[in-house]
Amino acid sequence: MKKVGVAILGLGVVGGGTYRILESHREFYQKTQNVDIFVESVLEIKREKALALGVPEEKIASNIAEVVADPDVQIVVEVIGGIEAAREYVLAALHAGKTVVTSNKELYCKYSHELEAAAKRHNAGLYYEGSCVGGVPIIRTLLDGLQANGIESVVGIINGTTNYILTKMGNEGASYEDALKEAQALGYAEADPSSDVDGYDASYKLSILASLAFHTKIPLSQVYREGIASVSAEDVRYGKQLGYVLKLLAVGKNTAEGIEVRVHPAFVPASHPLASVNDAFNAVLVHGDAVGDVMLYGRGAGELPTGSAVVSDVIYAATHSENKYSPFKNSEEAEKDVKFVSDFKSCYYLRMTVTDHAGVLGKIASALGKFGVSVGELIQERNRGAGTATLVLVTHGTAESAIRNAAAKIDELDIAKVDAVLRVAF
Amino acid sequence: MKKVGVAILGLGVVGGGTYRILESHREFYQKTQNVDIFVESVLEIKREKALALGVPEEKIASNIAEVVADPDVQIVVEVIGGIEAAREYVLAALHAGKTVVTSNKELYCKYSHELEAAAKRHNAGLYYEGSCVGGVPIIRTLLDGLQANGIESVVGIINGTTNYILTKMGNEGASYEDALKEAQALGYAEADPSSDVDGYDASYKLSILASLAFHTKIPLSQVYREGIASVSAEDVRYGKQLGYVLKLLAVGKNTAEGIEVRVHPAFVPASHPLASVNDAFNAVLVHGDAVGDVMLYGRGAGELPTGSAVVSDVIYAATHSENKYSPFKNSEEAEKDVKFVSDFKSCYYLRMTVTDHAGVLGKIASALGKFGVSVGELIQERNRGAGTATLVLVTHGTAESAIRNAAAKIDELDIAKVDAVLRVAF
């Protein structure tokens, strides 16, 4: 039986999960995959972490040079996270001809050109299923399951922290601040939650997924990004009243006009399959020109789910002899002939405070109409005692620029103040 | 660029879709997969069908011998369906060392041992993604996306026809007969609907999926099968009242007691992800020991969705040099040391007509209790004028045998008649 030695760099959440899965499933893989995969070494600054996991002392390496010099290591798993050390170590492993499996979305998103080139040069494998949507095998699906299709769109809920917060706000009417605090208490959100709540994490993943789906490099700089920190309980509630659920969506579209990639909160109709993706679950909806809609759903993060993705890559690498590289021209920036759409079309949700006088609604409708914006749904509620009303409306499909202009125009009227603008998807 | 010639056997629904996708995407695959895949020949008794699709006259083969003798054919796509001709042609292709891609669930389910052996002997590839759940890449996912996991269960809605009928019954209160007629009018059900409505189609697929998931041959003979033909609108309605949706479920479980494989109608809680899989859509929920729940959702049938699966296999075969065979000991019957559970546990829905007298409920509860069956939910409705009442109850988890015995006991009491017994999943 073929023997394959693995080194694990970093024993944090995902590294620990990877180690535990490999150890507990060694015999299972011998039986089911006809390969003996064993952990040859681990690299972890905090030795006590390794010892606590049960790693034998002699398997704890002192530095990356030792790991890559070991001829019994065929696959190096990078689960350190961050950029500096991770990039250096991955390049060292690739230069030594080792296959690399990484779950590092930021690294792969920002440096795929460099990593793919190094892998190719040294005939080493490079795998990154764990970088996107935890245990959900969306990358393998794009590469080997739906590759017969021209992919027209990839739309997903691909950040568990924000989905937990928005689920809490939607189901319990919690404020953003309270929901965030609870997510932090449960370990779903970090002390500095910016990477999640400001949409960075989802942007890295969308850049990777859209690049694969559309067969061209989508640099991070092209991904429009808006987080959930300014989402109010009020808007979640009004949306619910209109039959919508608020989600942090990652949207990638490939249309005749160009490619559109954006991460932002958006209302989703309650009957849509993505609307019922709750808590820390993730889902990705892919639309292919032959297959139509396909959705993959599962845990987007966590020790064992992400470990499952990492170990599945390890097994794939151990049981396939060919190394495949990014299936498109891989460069730091987008290819010159690829167009991007920035003024994308959507339906919009607007909430405004208006003076409670006759004729106000007409003036607002006419301001919207000036920019070609028409209204599909509307709620008006009187704010008793304040002399104002709250007006909530959902427009028909329109360009982002038209909404921005219309909102500015409405503010100029001095009879209304636009308090919130949110997109409505599907 | 590598050139790969394909022969398509049968130009029915899936064959036509396969042809159309390959023709329209040829340049796309050259660009994105670096391979030139072309249709070298088709075999179709009805020549006019081929001509109507735009197949050039000279590509229409006269017989299977001509197809397999053609050195430019590397991949043979079998989309004829049925057993006789399909089996003969597939074996002929494998014997000639051609890679075979098939969407034929009945053939692969019943003869995988023979086909896998022939493929291995002649070093030919054998792929069958199109055999299960249309365009949803569930087989690739089990082989290459979730293979790090011990799979504990595979539960799915894997027949579109029955799901269309049950959706109709659930949403509109239609009778089974009316819903079937509509499905036939729309082309979702065949004139003789038995293969779908009696659960054969789902059983073939479950046998294939469970074999892959549990790494051992699950012969069709082990799959318990019950169709939807005796489902009544009344039960669908009572289930709805209790918060359930009725689905034809395919359930595969691998537990310490053994393997359990069954296809039957079952109530699913309305909040469960499978409950919102409607119309002709399919979904499979896989539970892995590391990843937890992963669900795949999409179109389970149709020209282009199933064509997507077939062509994805063609591309995979054309771009991977290794042939992999069934990842378990492949035999006609189950391996000797594998246990199967037939007296499986479930919650149960019972509907009965009872005499409308005091004390009846107590007698029924005591009859159930004798077999260890306890009741979780209950509806009782008086049938005005008839001197009877309808009693609907949902039990806690219990063995199938206990329910059968309890139902027989209740019938013996002469105060109640059990009209319907249905399983409740999850």
The average confidence (pLDDT) of chain B is: 96
Query: A296 to chain B: nearest residue by CA?
Result: B296
pLDDT at A328: 86
pLDDT at A193: 96
Residue B329, classed as helix, strand or coil, is coil
B296, A299: Cβ pair inside 8 Å? Answer: no
Q: What is the set of active-site residues of A?
A: 205
Q: Are strands B126-127 and B224-225 parallel, antiparallel or unpaired?
A: unpaired
Query: A27 to chain B: nearest residue by CA?
Result: B150
Which chain B residues are closer than 8 Å to A311 by Cβ? 148, 290
Q: Are strands B75-78 and B35-43 parallel, antiparallel or unpaired?
A: unpaired
Query: B304 to chain A: nearest residue by CA?
Result: A290
pLDDT at B327: 84
The average confidence (pLDDT) of chain A is: 96
B400 in Cβ contact with B410 (< 8 Å): no
A322, B320: Cβ pair inside 8 Å? Answer: yes
Count of CB pairs separated by less than 8 Å, A with B: 172
Residues B122 and B330: their CA atoms lie apart, in Å, by 16
pTM as predicted:
0.96
Q: ipTM of the assembly?
A: 0.95
* A 359-418 residues with CB < 8 A to B: none
- Residue A357 pLDDT greater than 90, yes or no: no
Residues B236 and A292: their CA atoms lie apart, in Å, by 30
- Residue A24 tokens read as 């507990």
Give residue-wise pLDDT tens across range A87-101: 999 999 999 999 999
Residues B347 and B368: their CA atoms lie apart, in Å, by 13
Residue B240: DSSP 8-state: H
Please give the distance of CA A1 from its chain centroid, rounded to a whole number. Answer: 38
Residue among B16, B42, B11 nearest B305 (CA): B16
Given a cut of 50, the residues of chain B with pLDDT beneath it are: none
Domains and CATH numbers, chain A: 2-131 (3.40.50.720), 138-299 (3.30.360.10), 345-424 (3.30.70.260)
Average pLDDT over residues A160-188: 96
Query: A130 to chain B: nearest residue by CA?
Result: B145
A147, B327: Cβ pair inside 8 Å? Answer: no
Any CB–CB contact under 8 A between B6 and chain A? no
* B 286-315 residues with CB < 8 A to A: 288, 290-299, 304-305, 307-312, 314-315
Average pLDDT over residues A152-179: 97
Residue B292, classed as helix, strand or coil, is strand
pLDDT at A156: 98
Give residue-wise pLDDT tens across range A224-270: 999 999 999 999 999 999 999 999 999 999 999 999 999 999 999 99
Residue B11, classed as helix, strand or coil, is coil
When pLDDT is cut at 50, 70 and 90, the band that residue A57 belongs to is: very high
- Residue A327 pLDDT greater than 90, yes or no: no
- Residue A393 pLDDT greater than 90, yes or no: yes
First CA to last CA distance, chain A: 51
Q: Which residues pair with B37 in a beta bridge?
A: B4
Any CB–CB contact under 8 A between A270 and chain B? no
* Secondary element (H or E) of residue B110: helix B105-121
Count H helices and E strands in chain B, helices first. 15, 16
Average pLDDT over residues A403-421: 95
A297, B299: Cβ pair inside 8 Å? Answer: no
Give residue-wise pLDDT tens across range B151-185: 999 999 999 999 999 999 999 999 999 999 999 99
pLDDT at B85: 97
Give residue-wise pLDDT tens across range A257-316: 999 999 999 999 998 999 999 999 999 999 999 999 999 999 999 999 999 999 999 999
Compare CB distances from B144 to A34, A144, A290 and report the shortest one's residue.
A144
Give residue-wise pLDDT tens across range A278-295: 999 999 999 999 999 999
B363 in Cβ contact with B415 (< 8 Å): yes
CA angle at A390 for the pair A386 and A396, rounded to the nearest 5°: 165
Phi, psi of B8 (to 5 degrees): -110, 120
pLDDT at B133: 96
- Residue A167 pLDDT greater than 90, yes or no: yes
A291, B320: Cβ pair inside 8 Å? Answer: no
Q: How many residues does chain B have?
A: 426
Give residue-wise pLDDT tens across range A69-121: 999 999 999 999 999 999 999 999 999 999 999 999 999 999 999 999 999 99
pLDDT at A426: 85
Residues B240 and B170: their CA atoms lie apart, in Å, by 8
Residue among A132, A98, A94 nearest A4 (CA): A98
